[in-house]
Amino acid sequence: MTQLSQFVSGMDESVTLAAAARAKALKAEGRDIIDLTLGQPDFVTPKAIQNAAVAAITDGKASFYTVSSGLPELKTAFAGYFERYYGYKPAANEILVTTGAKFALYAYFLAVLDPGDEVIIPAPYWVSYVDQVKMASGVPVIVETTQAADFKVTVDQLEAAKTARTKVLLLNSPSNPTGMIYSREELSAIGDWAVANDLEILADDIYHRLVYNGAAFTAISSLSDTIRTHTTVINGTSKTFAMTGWRIGIAVGSPEIIAAMGKISSQTTSNAAAASQYAAIQAFSGDDKDFHEMQQAFEERLNTIYPLLAEIPGFEVVKPQGAFYLFPKVTQALTATGYTNVTDFANALLEEANVATVTGEGFGSSENIRLSYATDLESLKTAVARIKKFVIEKSKH
């Protein structure tokens, strides 16, 4: 048998992608599965964006490599767009276009971490952070938050986690999987703490516009010039423009870090797909109509489905303010139904209730499961009804 590398042997497959693949395979076998695994908008990419890519293909412009760090005209369009939400305009050498935000994160870790450097990651966290840090020879330092504290980390907790090797603090607001948003005051305190300790901040803002019911996103990098110089922002087109398949990520940071990340993309991916970059120019310069329709649909789904989920015996849910996930704590339901861990519970929901969710274990939580509400309302209602029936019936035995 082939001896695989230590590098790959030390990493796990993405649990979200694995859960989605399993749901897809069962559906292909003819099972009536409702798939709430993947965090990707169920909307098709808006027509104007699609057309921009088609034009680039038929004009021949999409046939060629682009500048590795991204098309200059895409950087210009993005800088204007970014300024609307962040209040400052990055220069071209402060912007890197990547093959998805996921790769931007990995390039960042490779660019800033030496072996043994620590990255503080508040839990629950998005699945890929921990493995990516390890893949870059760094050490993930997990700081547990509680549902009672809305899954937010405090400066005291960060102070307790800090060591001489701490290099980076990772923040993801709105959060995948909890949907929580840090307030301006919370971010100011955390940002000032990071600056005082000379740490780098990695702000994964990919859900920045997906906020609901009047909640507001604050960008930590906008809070002060000093915080900004310590921060690298990760963003992209996947969530805001329903473009997960196009693979466009964008990083904004100091020219030094951006150039270092750029070296990594130039030696690995060369450039993000040219047709996708032309599509992204349109996404960043077009109007907001399609986005607002999508946002309203997510908000309606959240407001409809959240109370129904909260009604399930043994489910405790904090109402999310952003992103498109619900992350119920199911410990009481586990006890009532006789399951000993959330992974077995999520598997049983798939096998017996025909609802695919993701175990909280992949997000650093042994108490929760994650449901994506980026799917149509009827399917969501049916899925929650199936879960409720499953819990009630199992609890009788």
Q: Looking at beta carbons only, is 179 or 236 nearer to ligand PMP?
A: 236
Let me know: does 77 contact 285? Beta carbons within 8 Å: yes
Q: Which one of residues 35, 42, 204, 290 is an interface residue with ligand PMP (CB under 6 A)?
A: 204
Structure tokens at 269: 């991916």
Contact between 17 and ligand GLU per CB under 6 A: yes
Let me know: does 316 contact 368? Beta carbons within 8 Å: no
Pairing between strand 231-236 and 355-356? unpaired
Structure tokens at 189: 């305190």
Report helix angle 100-112 to 255-268, nearest 10. Answer: 110
Tell me the one-letter amino acid at 282.
Answer: Q
CA dihedral 65, 68, 69, 72 (to 10 degrees): -40
The contact mask relative to ligand PMP for 37-56 (x = CB under 6 A, - = no) is --x-----------------
Structure tokens at 307: 């109370």
Residues of span 63-122 touching ligand GLU by CB under 6 A: 102
Residues of span 121-150 touching ligand PMP by CB under 6 A: 126
Q: Which one of residues 16, 145, 222, 359 is an interface residue with ligand GLU (CB under 6 A)?
A: 16
Q: Which one of residues 34, 35, 36, 39 is an interface residue with ligand GLU (CB under 6 A)?
A: 39
Min. distance of Cβ 149 from ligand GLU in angstroms?
Answer: 22
First-residue to last-residue Cα distance in the chain: 46
17 binds, among ligand GLU, ligand PMP, none (CB under 5 to 8 A by kind): ligand GLU
CA atoms within 13 A on the CB side of 324: 29
Residues of span 63-102 touching ligand PMP by CB under 6 A: 100-102
Binding span for ligand PMP by CB under 6 A among 23-31, 115-123, 236-244, 308-316: 236-244
User: Residues in contact with ligand PMP, total (CB under 6 A)?
Assistant: 13
Contact between 238 and ligand PMP per CB under 6 A: yes
Pairing between strand 139-144 and 355-356? unpaired
Q: Looking at beta carbons only, is 101 or 355 nearer to ligand PMP?
A: 101
d(CA 115, CA 136): 8
Q: By the criterion CB under 6 A, which residues form the site for ligand PMP?
A: 39, 100-102, 126, 172, 176, 204, 206, 236, 238, 244, 249
Instruction: Summarize as ranges the residues that interact with ligand GLU (CB under 6 A).
Output: 14, 16-17, 38-40, 102, 127-128, 176
